[in-house]
Structure 1
Amino acid sequence: MAVSLHLAQQADADALLSRSALAALTGMLLDQQVPMEKAFAGPLTIAQRMGAEDLDARVIAGYDPEAFAELLSAKPAVHRYPGSMAKRVQQLCQYLVEHYDGDAAAVWREVPSGAELLRRLVELPGFGKQKSQIFLALLGKQFGVRPDGWREAAGLYGEEGSRRSVADITDPESLVQVRAYKQQAKQAAKAEKAAGPSK
């Protein structure tokens, strides 16, 4: 299935995400404490700084950790926390080499069920349950990876027509809708905290 992602909101970065399973996973890994577009543009920046057209799990896994941290830290830095993120990207790639022969797409290729896919994603370094559910929803909604029970495994993020996460961003309009949802969720959480524990 031909995929056309719009997460970095820049054509060449989105093209890499669309064709490279490792780039998509890496973008998802980087998607915390920075704007979504910056996170998902990160894989292209890393590839370019390594002098490559694509990311290679084996190459990244075997890269000198200090040199790799410098790649991500060079201005403009790939992430707000380039050192710790460099470590996480390397850990992810090392895990993929060890468990999937360096083939990121093997995480979801021919997976028997949504529950098993969620289990595999949660086991990836840097992927907690929420991040895994969002990525699972992205796989189902935009990559056509739809094993039995995938929507249930993705939780709220798997709902059809929802505008909750990167899984639902297909154009500038849906990006605005997802941003609005996240703002509302943030405000609701703040209000709940301010109200204190219910008696």
Structure 2
Amino acid sequence: MVSRAVCIAQDPAADALLTADDFALLVGMTLDQQFPMEHAFRGPQKIADRMGGFDIHRIAAADPAEFEELAATPPAIHRYGRSMARRVQELAHYIGEHYDGETSGLWMAGDPDGKEVLKRLKALPGFGDQKARIFLALLGKQKGFTGRGWREAAGAYGEDGSRRSVADVTDAESLSQVREFKKQAKAAAKAK
């Protein structure tokens, strides 16, 4: 599986962590709601800076109140830092229980097709249909996932050359294009 360097956070250290650590990328996706996407994807680096590294097992084992405090301390990992801290810990527990702490098991365990990976993603705490499809598209477009039918399972987010979600952000220009797409989609929805 060939993956590319992730450039979603638009910050070298944060993007290096997202590229190197699958759980960090999953956490970034978890935080990507009601918050600017590049800031959401900087959240894992903030956690790493405050914990002296980014480790799924340490996150899962952290005292919940202390982890909430760490996540909510300015600059917080999200505008709802405490509730998102709980969600991140839930995610760490889930990956630990179901994939032995190996996040890539979501898309690699048992050589799954796109439909199966979508099903696995939808089972994650805090992942609905849309978030699961976007993350599946991100796996296919940037992490080298080639499971049969991934583009179909990802729906419109899997379209080649689209600029509709974080899955399509590879640099500052594509981030701007995705923002513009979202702005137009919001305006069109409002006009209905």
**Equivalent pairs, count:** 190
1:120 and 2:120 are equivalent in the alignment: yes
CA RMSD, 1 decimal: 0.9
- Could you tell me how far 1:67 is from its partner in structure 2? 0.2
- Could you tell me how far 1:2 is from its partner in structure 2? 4.3
Partner Cα distance (1:89, 1:77) in 2: 13
Report the equivalent of 1:196. Answer: none
Query: Aligned ranges for residues 163-174 of structure 1 at < 5 Å?
Result: 163-174=163-174
CA displacement 1:80-130 (0-9 Å, x = unmatched): 001100000000000011000111111111532100000000001111110
- Could you tell me how far 1:3 is from its partner in structure 2? 2.3
Q: Could you list the runs of 5+ residues in structure 2 that have no partner in the other structure?
A: none
| Structure of greater Rg | 1
CA displacement 1:125-146 (0-9 Å, x = unmatched): 1111100000000000111101
Q: Does the 8 A contact of 2:30 with 2:88 survive in 1?
A: yes
Amino acid at match of 2:96: V
1:19 and 2:16 are equivalent in the alignment: no
Report the equivalent of 1:106. Answer: 105
Aligned-residue identity in percent: 58
Partner Cα distance (2:76, 2:12) in 1: 20
Amino acid at match of 1:121: L
Task: Name the structure, 1 or 2, with higher relative contact order (CA <8 Å, separation 6+).
Answer: 2
1:149 and 2:149 are equivalent in the alignment: yes
Report the equivalent of 2:61. Answer: 62
Partner Cα distance (2:48, 2:6) in 1: 18
Report the equivalent of 1:81. Answer: 80
Report the equivalent of 2:8. Answer: 7
Moved more, 90-99 or 168-177: 168-177
Partner Cα distance (1:109, 1:130) in 2: 21
1:138 and 2:138 are equivalent in the alignment: yes
Partner Cα distance (1:22, 1:112) in 2: 19
Q: Does the 8 A contact of 1:3 with 1:19 survive in 2?
A: no
Amino acid at match of 2:187: Q
Q: Secondary structure at the match of 1:67?
A: helix
Amino acid at match of 1:158: G
Question: Taking structure 2 as the reference length, what is the TM-score of the superposition?
Answer: 0.97
CA displacement 1:130-179 (0-9 Å, x = unmatched): 00000000000111101000000000000011110011111111111111
- Could you tell me how far 1:58 is from its partner in structure 2? 1.5
